[in-house]
């Protein structure tokens, strides 16, 4: 394949990564923004979403769309409920102390991951996509002075991947509407601004926290359900989303939702394109170094402004 | 000869001017009180002198040397000591270790223990050496702060509202302590308690809305109409 | 006096156990002593200075690979190879310290995590030299130090004990020195410490380097004593382990790291006989400690019974 079609393909794949990453990272960013804690177990909530999707799809049978549709609802709800339980039994009791929360969520990471290993096993299992038509993509080349359309071999995508690219922005729009237009969003923003003041005004801060932690985890689970027809469900699949979400949240400016989305698109797209030129390991080395250096030298993120 | 001299010090926080173009001279051996209404910029001014806060513009000289660019810990080593307005003791360590940490900057070995003992005796905490500092009463924590300042044997001792929360008897003892230091140690005292100011300070500087309003002997300040309007009248 | 009796007593007990333990536990204890030295190093930074690093595997691996690569590629003998491991630990910890100490709190944790992860991936990336994930064996002939064959169980036990004794005594000495006391002061209240005239950055950097070098010494010894170097030892898991051991044993206590390593090692050893998901134990213990006993075992002993425990 020539470079042009190749880059287009990489961009399409990158857009899928970006879509899923944006959902996962916004979940992490929301939790950090409102609660000021870092959830190391975020990747495991992602993994749980995928594993639950597999169970649901198994149970439903029939047309793949039925199982997938059910998973789309059940997985985020169930994972959200687990996260709320984690918040109420653990995080609340250590009073959301930032450092102890990290240690506790490392513990939660191992608990979720290892319980999944015991229950679900070490195998990677697929979930069928609800629809999966292969779509060939045309390309143009200059021949005898005029542009001619042709169909390069291997340049194609699927209807499902396009649907993911469309679905993610819709969900994010929903999150934005919730934050900006609803009463619960108002409570979240008030709590984010000043916890003590919110308490003084009678906002049930602990319930807001539990809800935010649940929504953050549910977003990760939703992202995983979307990706599981493309990538299989596996008990160790939470590691990469966690790392990538970290990169996105830190580069986008801690706790800033618009920054997170912009960074997710940037990282997701470049991930597809960089992997054309670099080995995945080298790409990861550069990405982790970038996160470390951004935190050291530009803690407000690449897009943030200091003090905001 | 001024031990400390500041020129044109200003500090703004996010557009708000906390301190505006302040000149300040403190001669060797003097006890100087710095007074002013709440929010006048006293702590900010002192913070710029001892290096906790970087000035927006202006310079600070200590013992003839420009220290504007020195970090706080280097200024302390030149012979400044600072006690915090909000008690900042090491709550988890015992009282003697708190003072020893301050003493070990200039002493080693057995000299530390005897200096600690002397400093604690001087502020009236001799019986509390082995107690955990966080368990002390608020007033005793203030006294511990002062002991931590004294044990450094500083050339300039900066005390930020040292008598806040002290009992009457402790305040009397504190006044005696400052009079005792006068002459050897230069003292800069941020203080709200007027009896402490009037009885211990050689001279008084009044800060109002970030600007130096007046400077003079306690009696001059007491008689100053501007000061009365800005401060004594309302306080 | 009590302090000397307690610590020398522990070392004497470990010495005596060499002659009575059955082979399996004998081998385990040698391993535990090396890992406990790693925990002692971690504790200098976490327990005494109050800096929570999530990247100590980088220092452990720096020591291990500094030692193993010079043996494997340059044919060095164990003594200079061990020194190479220490030097690697010194360089890596100083570099990481200078960068990471510009941050504090949560950012410090994430920065150390990220740089350590970059180090781990670097070992994988240069698999041609490091043999990546599968690692490589250090042959018995390459493990003879001053005529002592370190692959022999008994020699290995004494070498591990020597390493642990040095780490323990260095830690004990350090925390009773003014330098160590200042580290504790920084942990308790950093701004106050600076306002007493201490250069807190220099002290924290010193703590990172000392902690890093003890960790590197443990990593180098581990590779040499057990004859293997692999990328696993640089992975996140090996950064979490010392945190777990120190939290369990008691952060900011001299004996805590050993107690925590001993307990955790046997907990995981027992449970790995039952299930492959043995890291579940680690997770449960981490959560339980954060919730119920943030002081750890030795910390609780100090709080309730022996307040003199260093």
Of C121, C280, C290, the CB nearest to A284: C121
Inter-chain CB proximity C198 and B73 less than 8 Å: yes
- Could you tell me which residue, A5 or A187, shows the higher pLDDT? A187
- Report the first-to-last Cα separation within chain A, whole angstroms: 47
- The closest alpha carbon to C32, from C187, C175, C196, C222, belongs to C222
Distance in angstroms (rounded) separating the CA atoms of residues B147 and B125: 9
Out of B74, B93, B101, whose CB is closest to C196? B101
Model pLDDT, residue A103: 85
- pLDDT, average across residues C275-300: 81
| A209-224: average pLDDT | 94
Q: Are B158 and B185 in contact (CB under 8 A)?
A: no
Q: What is the pLDDT of residue A302?
A: 63
Interface mutation target, options C192, C203, C299, chain B, most CBs of B under 10 Å: C192
The nearest CA of chain B is from the CA of C303 a distance in Å of 12
When CB atoms are compared, the residue of C184, C196, C198 closest to B93 is C184
**Nearest chain B residue (CA) to C181:** B101
Q: Where are the domains of chain C?
A: 2-235
* Chain C environment of A291 (Cβ under 8 Å): 110, 114
Among A205-219, A293-307, B6-20, B74-88, top mean pLDDT goes to: A205-219
What the block records as the tokens of B42 is 């006293």
Q: Could you tell me which residues come within 8 angstroms of residue A262 by beta carbon, excluding any fewer than 6 positions away?
A: A252, A303
Instruction: Measure C299 CA to nearest chain B CA, in Å.
Output: 13
Note the pLDDT of residue A23.
92
Statement: residue C204 has pLDDT above 70: yes
CB contact under 8 A, B89 and C189: yes
* DSSP H stretches of helix in B22-167: 42-50, 72-77, 95-103, 110-123, 138-150
Two structure tokens written together for A45? 């909530």
Closest CA to A34 of A154, A185, A224: A185
- List, in order, residues 6 or more apart from A300 with CB less than 8 Å away: A253, A254, A306, A307, A308
Measured N-to-C along each axis, helices C200-226 and C78-100 cross at an angle, to the nearest 10 degrees, of 150
CB-based contact A250 C109, cutoff 8 Å: no
Which H helix or E strand runs over B21? strand B16-27
d(CA C259, CA C263): 6
Against a cut of 0.90, is the pTM above it?
no
Q: Say whether C196 and B97 touch across the interface (CB within 8 A).
A: no
On the question of pLDDT at C182 being above 50, the answer is yes
pLDDT at site A240:
84
Is it the case that residue A29 has pLDDT exceeding 70? yes
Question: How close is the nearest chain C Cα to the Cα of B133, in Å?
Answer: 12
| Range with the largest mean pLDDT of A70-74, A296-300, C73-77, C207-211 | C207-211
Q: Which has more confidence, A62 or C265?
A: C265
Q: Of A37-46, A297-306, B103-112, C177-186, which gets the smallest average pLDDT?
A: A297-306
pLDDT digits 0-9 by tens, C158-175: 899 999 999 999 998 998
pLDDT at A55: 92
- Any idea where the domains of chain B sit in the sequence? 29-54+64-79+154-235, 91-151
- Fold classification of B29-54+64-79+154-235 is Rossmann fold (3.40.50)
The reply to whether B111 touches chain C by the CB within 8 Å rule is no
Cβ-based interface (< 8 Å): residues of C facing A: 52, 54, 99-100, 102-103, 105-107, 109-111, 114-115, 117-118, 121-122, 124-125, 240, 243, 247, 275-280, 282-291, 294
pLDDT band at C51 (very low <50, low <70, confident <90, very high): very high
User: How far is residue B162's CA from residue B45's CA, in Å, rounded to a whole number?
Assistant: 17
Q: Is the pLDDT of residue C247 over 60?
A: yes
DSSP state of B230: I
Inter-chain touch C197–B91, beta carbons under 8 Å = no
Interval A83-135: pLDDT, tens: 999 999 999 998 888 878 888 998 999 999 999 998 898 888 888 888 877 87
Tokens of A299: 């803690």
> Which whole number is the average pLDDT over C266-292?
82
Helix (H) or strand (E) holding C78: helix C78-100
Q: Report whether A30 contacts A220 (CB < 8 A).
A: no
Residues of B in contact with C253 (CB under 8 A): none
Interface test with B, best of C195, C201, C307 (most B CBs within 10 A): C195
B90 closest CB neighbour out of C188, C194, C197: C188
E-only strand ranges, chain C? 136-137, 144-145, 148-149, 228-229
| Token pair of A253 as six digits | 């400016």
Opening angle at CA C293, ends C288 and C296, nearest 5: 110
Instruction: Check pLDDT > 80 for residue A219.
Output: yes
Give, in order, the Cα–Cα distances in Å from C181 to each of A57, B75, B185, C177.
60, 22, 28, 6
Nearest to B7 by CA among B28, B27, B22: B22
User: Mapped to the 3 state alphabet, what secondary structure does chain A carry?
Assistant: CCHHHHHHHHHHHHHHHHHHHHHHHHHHHHHHHHHCCCCCCHHHHHHHHHHHHHHHHHHHCCCHHHHHHHHHHHHHHHHHHHHHHHHHHHHCCCCCCHHHHHHHHHHHHHHHHHHHHHHHCCCCECCCCCCCCEEECCEEEEECCEEEEECCCCCEEEHHHHHHHHHHHHHHHHHHHHHHHCHHHHHHHHHHHCHHHHHHCCCCHHHHHHHHHHHHHHHHHHHHHHHCCCCCECCCCCHHHHHHHHHHHHHCCCCCHHHHHHHHHHHHHHHHHHHHHCCHHHHHHHHHHHHHHHHHHCCCCCCCCCCC
Instruction: Output the pLDDT for position C44.
Output: 94
- Residue spans of chain B under pLDDT 50: 235
Chains in contact with B, where contact means 3 or more Cβ–Cβ distances below 8 Å, are C
8 Å CB contact of B76 and C182: no
Rounded CA Rg of chain A: 20
Question: B232: which residues sit within 8 A by CB, 6+ positions away?
Answer: B194, B222
pLDDT on residue B55: 87
Partner-chain contact C109 A282, CB within 8 Å:
no
Question: Are B66 and C158 contacting, i.e. CB atoms less than 8 angstroms apart?
Answer: no
B186: which strand partners?
Answer: B156
**B146-171 confidence digits (pLDDT tens):** 889 889 989 899 998 888 888 888 88
Nearest to A10 by CA among A225, A210, A223, A273: A273
- pLDDT tens-digit map of A37-90: 889 999 999 999 999 999 998 888 778 888 888 889 999 999 999 999 999 999
ipTM: 0.83
Per-residue tokens: A150: 């042709």
Confidence of residue C58 (pLDDT cuts 50, 70, 90): very high
* Residues 6+ positions from A201 with CB-CB distance below 8 Å: A190
CA-based nearest distance C259→chain B, Å: 23
Give the integer Cα–Cα distance in Å for C50 and A253.
26
CA distance C217 to chain B (A): 31
Residues of B in contact with C204 (CB under 8 A): none
Interface of C with B (CB under 8 A): 178, 181-182, 184-185, 188-189, 191-200
Is the separation of the CB atoms in C235 and C121 below 8 Å? Answer: no
Write down the pLDDT at residue A306. Answer: 45
The reported pLDDT for the residue numbered A1 is 56
Q: Is B221 on the interface with C (CB under 8 A)?
A: no
3-state SS class at C150: coil
Query: What does the pLDDT read at residue A307?
Result: 40
């Amino acid at each position: 394949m020539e470079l042009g079609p190749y880059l287009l393909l990489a961009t399409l794949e990158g857009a899928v990564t970006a879509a899923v990453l944006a959902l996962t990272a916004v979940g992490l960013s929301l939790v950090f923004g409102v609660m000021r804690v870092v959830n190391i177990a975020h990747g495991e909530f992602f993994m749980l979403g995928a594993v639950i999707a597999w169970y649901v799809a198994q149970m439903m049978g029939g047309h793949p769309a039925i199982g997938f549709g059910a998973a789309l609802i059940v997985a985020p709800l169930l994972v959200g409920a687990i996260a709320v339980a984690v918040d109420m039994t653990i995080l609340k009791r250590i009073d959301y102390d930032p450092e102890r929360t990290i240690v506790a969520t490392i513990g939660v990471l191992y608990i979720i991951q290892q319980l999944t290993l015991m229950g679900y096993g070490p195998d990677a299992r697929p979930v069928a996509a609800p629809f999966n038509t292969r779509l060939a993509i045309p390309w143009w080349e200059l021949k005898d002075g005029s542009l001619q359309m042709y169909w390069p071999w291997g340049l194609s995508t699927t209807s499902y991947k396009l649907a993911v690219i469309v679905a993610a922005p819709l969900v994010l729009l929903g999150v934005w509407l919730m934050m900006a237009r609803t009463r619960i969003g108002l409570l979240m923003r008030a709590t984010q601004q000043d916890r003590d003041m919110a308490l003084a005004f009678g906002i049930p801060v602990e319930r807001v926290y539990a809800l935010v932690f649940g929504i953050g985890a549910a977003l990760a689970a939703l992202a995983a359900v979307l990706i599981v027809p493309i990538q299989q469900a596996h008990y160790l699949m939470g590691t990469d989303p966690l790392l990538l979400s970290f990169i996105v949240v830190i580069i986008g400016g801690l706790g800033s939702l618009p920054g997170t989305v912009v960074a997710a698109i940037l990282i997701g797209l470049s991930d597809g394109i960089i992997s054309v030129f670099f080995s995945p390991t080298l790409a990861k080395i550069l990405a982790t170094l970038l996160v470390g250096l951004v935190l050291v030298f530009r803690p407000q993120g690449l897009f943030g402004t200091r003090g905001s | 000869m001024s031990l400390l001299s500041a020129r044109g010090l200003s500090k703004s926080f996010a557009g708000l001017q906390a301190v505006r173009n302040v000149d300040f001279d403190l001669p060797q051996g003097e006890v100087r009180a710095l007074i002013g209404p709440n929010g006048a910029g006293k702590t900010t001014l002192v913070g710029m002198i001892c290096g906790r806060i970087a000035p927006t513009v202006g310079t600070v000289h200590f013992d003839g040397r420009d220290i504007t660019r020195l970090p706080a810990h280097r200024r302390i080593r030149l012979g400044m000591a600072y006690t915090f307005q909000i008690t900042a003791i090491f709550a988890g360590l015992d009282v003697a270790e708190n003072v020893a940490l301050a003493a070990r900057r200039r002493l080693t070995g057995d000299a530390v223990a005897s200096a600690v003992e002397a400093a604690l005796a001087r502020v009236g905490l001799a019986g509390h050496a082995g107690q955990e500092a966080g368990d002390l009463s608020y007033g005793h924590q203030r006294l511990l702060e002062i002991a931590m300042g004294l044990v450094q044997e500083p050339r300039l001792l900066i005390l930020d509202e040292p008598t806040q929360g002290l009992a009457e008897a402790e305040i009397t003892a504190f006044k005696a302590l400052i009079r005792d230091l006068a002459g050897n140690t230069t003292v800069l005292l941020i203080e709200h308690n007027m009896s402490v100011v009037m009885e211990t300070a050689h001279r008084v500087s009044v800060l109002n809305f970030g600007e130096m309003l007046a400077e003079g002997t306690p009696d001059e300040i007491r008689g100053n109409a501007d000061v009365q309007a800005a401060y004594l009248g309302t306080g | 006096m009590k302090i000397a009796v307690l610590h020398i007593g522990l070392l004497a007990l470990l010495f005596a156990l060499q002659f009575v333990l059955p082979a399996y536990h004998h081998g385990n204890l040698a391993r535990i002593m090396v890992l406990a030295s790693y925990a002692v190093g971690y504790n200098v930074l976490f327990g005494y200075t109050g800096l929570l690093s999530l990247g100590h595997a980088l220092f452990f691996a720096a020591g291990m690979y500094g030692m193993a690569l010079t043996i494997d590629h340059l044919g060095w003998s164990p003594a200079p190879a061990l020194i190479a491991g220490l030097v690697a630990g010194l360089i890596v910890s100083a570099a990481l310290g200078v960068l990471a100490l510009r941050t504090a709190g949560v950012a410090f944790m994430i920065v150390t995590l990220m740089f350590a992860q970059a180090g781990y991936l670097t070992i994988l990336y240069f698999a041609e030299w490091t043999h990546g994930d599968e690692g490589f064996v250090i042959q018995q002939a390459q493990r003879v130090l001053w005529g002592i064959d370190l692959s022999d169980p008994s020699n290995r036990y004494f070498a591990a004990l020597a390493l642990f004794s040095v780490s323990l005594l260095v830690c004990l000495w350090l925390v009773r020195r003014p330098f160590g006391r200042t580290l504790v002061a920084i942990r308790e209240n950093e701004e106050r410490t600076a306002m007493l005239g201490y250069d807190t950055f220099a002290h924290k950097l010193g703590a990172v380097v000392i902690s890093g070098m003890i960790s590197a010494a443990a990593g180098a010894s581990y590779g040499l004593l057990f004859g293997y170097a692999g990328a696993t030892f640089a992975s996140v898991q090996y950064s979490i382990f010392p945190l777990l051991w120190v939290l369990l044993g008691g952060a900011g206590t001299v004996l805590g790291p050993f107690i925590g390593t001993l307990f955790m090692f046997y907990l995981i050893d027992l449970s790995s006989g039952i299930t492959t998901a043995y890291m579940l134990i680690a997770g449960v213990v981490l959560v339980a400690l954060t919730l119920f006993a943030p002081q750890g075992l030795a910390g609780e002993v100090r709080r309730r019974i022996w307040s003199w425990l260093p």
